[in-house]
Amino acid sequence: MTNLDQTTATENNSTSKTAAERYGIMEMPTLEYTPEVAKETAHLYEKVKHHIPEIEWPIHAPYVHAINKIKKERNAVILAHNYMTPEIFHCVADVAGDSLQLAMEAEKVDADIIVQCGVHFMAETSKLLSPSKTVLIPDMKAGCSLAESLTGEDVRLLREANPGVPIVTYVNTSADVKAESDICCTSSNAVRVVESFESDTILLIPDEYLAQNVAKLTKKKILPWKGHCEVHERFTPEELLAYKEADPVIQIVAHPECPPEVVDVADFSGSTSGMIDFAIGQKLGAKVLLVTECSMASNIQEQAEGVEFIKPCNLCPHMKRITLPNILEALVYMREEVVVDPVMAEKARHAVERMVNLKTN
């Protein structure tokens, strides 16, 4: 059974009323590009005009207008990951960031409903940290090659095979996996989390490349799992060196989910927020190649004004399942709801909170 199947099964068993029954469904608005829609969305087009041709805006604008109206009526917030397309990221999102930032911000907002524009494990993490809110994902099939490489049962077997070895799981995992682990980590705090244990050996799972990259920065023996992000594993050192050879001033910035030989040729390696800070800190006219999902450069261009982004462009097919039409459907029809079994949620939340507390201590 996949993680998605497990959540759906849990949902069916534990929820007596669906979100649609609790909140009611609305009528689908007319999606026409009227003068009123054009006027009320003009300021939003300004934010995306470098990424969306003017001729295409009449297709997006009616959705943007309807989503922004209905989300207020529903008292909903839209959380958008950095890998969402610019019309989602800039025109309908209330909170944008990486998966953990989104979940932590979602906890603070005064809303009944969260619409998670990202993949399934992110919606679960939001539900863990905001159990009283209704969490919707516009497409339940928005999965993740990395998260799906490991199940809670795998973690239990790893624990049996490695008695006494602490288990650190990356936040890009299902609630089932988090619930079986000792603590979570992000790509920015993984070294710190690993070093917080006295044990000389640590299981750091499921991202094999993150584990290998962390192993280079600590004296601990790191045991990995063979999970990979299908976006970051596609980059090669040869491809990046070719860019550098063509233009030596290009700064290469790689995510630690990339293979170690890719990270080795980068000028900087860091988490999503670390990559953004690096780009923003560059001088006017700098050229930066972000070795990550393609949409991120478009989404941060405004913050890094004057920086030219080189885009080798690997798209995440899972993230790209989220679109303006299915966000609107989520709000109108109140679907698909993400529910986590309360016992599992309690254990998984503990693993996340242990990491967060470590960060602030």
Residues contributing to the site for ligand SF4 (CB under 6 A): 83, 119, 144-146, 172, 229-231, 293, 316, 318-319
Task: Write down the least CB distance from residue 250 to ligand SF4, Å.
Answer: 22
Task: Write down the least CB distance from residue 109 to ligand SF4, Å.
Answer: 23
From CA 231, how far away is CA 224, in angstroms rounded?
19
Residue closer to ligand SF4 by CB (options 227, 237) is 227
Are the CB atoms for 219 and 233 separated by under 8 Å? no
Task: Write down the least CB distance from residue 196 to ligand SF4, Å.
Answer: 24
Amino acid at 148: E
Residue closer to ligand SF4 by CB (options 136, 316) is 316
Task: Write down the least CB distance from residue 144 to ligand SF4, Å.
Answer: 3
Residue closer to ligand SF4 by CB (options 62, 260) is 260
Query: Rounded to a whole number, what is the largest CA-CA distance in the chain?
Result: 66
Are the CB atoms for 95 and 80 separated by under 8 Å? yes
Task: Write down the least CB distance from residue 139 to ligand SF4, Å.
Answer: 13
| Pairing between β-strand 251-254 and β-strand 76-81 as defined by DSSP bridges | unpaired
Question: Which residues, 6+ apart, have CB-to-CB distance to 84 below 8 Å?
Answer: 93, 96, 117, 118, 295, 299, 319, 322
Are the CB atoms for 234 and 214 separated by under 8 Å? no
Q: 36 is written with which tokens?
A: 């009123």
Task: Write down the least CB distance from residue 291 to ligand SF4, Å.
Answer: 12
Residue closer to ligand SF4 by CB (options 11, 233) is 233
Please report how the helices 35-48 and 57-74 are oriented relative to each other, as an axis angle in degrees rounded to 10.
100
Residue closer to ligand SF4 by CB (options 319, 344) is 319
Q: 146 is written with which tokens?
A: 């990395």
Task: Write down the least CB distance from residue 232 to ligand SF4, Å.
Answer: 6
Residue closer to ligand SF4 by CB (options 45, 83) is 83
CA distances from residue 308 to 45, 293, 327 in whole angstroms, order as listed: 21, 16, 31
Q: 186 is written with which tokens?
A: 């992000």
Count of CB atoms within 10 A of residue 98's CB? 24
Residue closer to ligand SF4 by CB (options 197, 309) is 309
Count of CB atoms within 10 A of residue 336's CB? 24
Q: 171 is written with which tokens?
A: 């936040």
Task: Write down the least CB distance from residue 3 to ligand SF4, Å.
Answer: 12
From CA 38, how far away is CA 167, in angstroms rounded?
52
Q: Is the dihedral of CA 196, 201, 207, 209 positive or negative?
A: positive
Residue closer to ligand SF4 by CB (options 63, 83) is 83
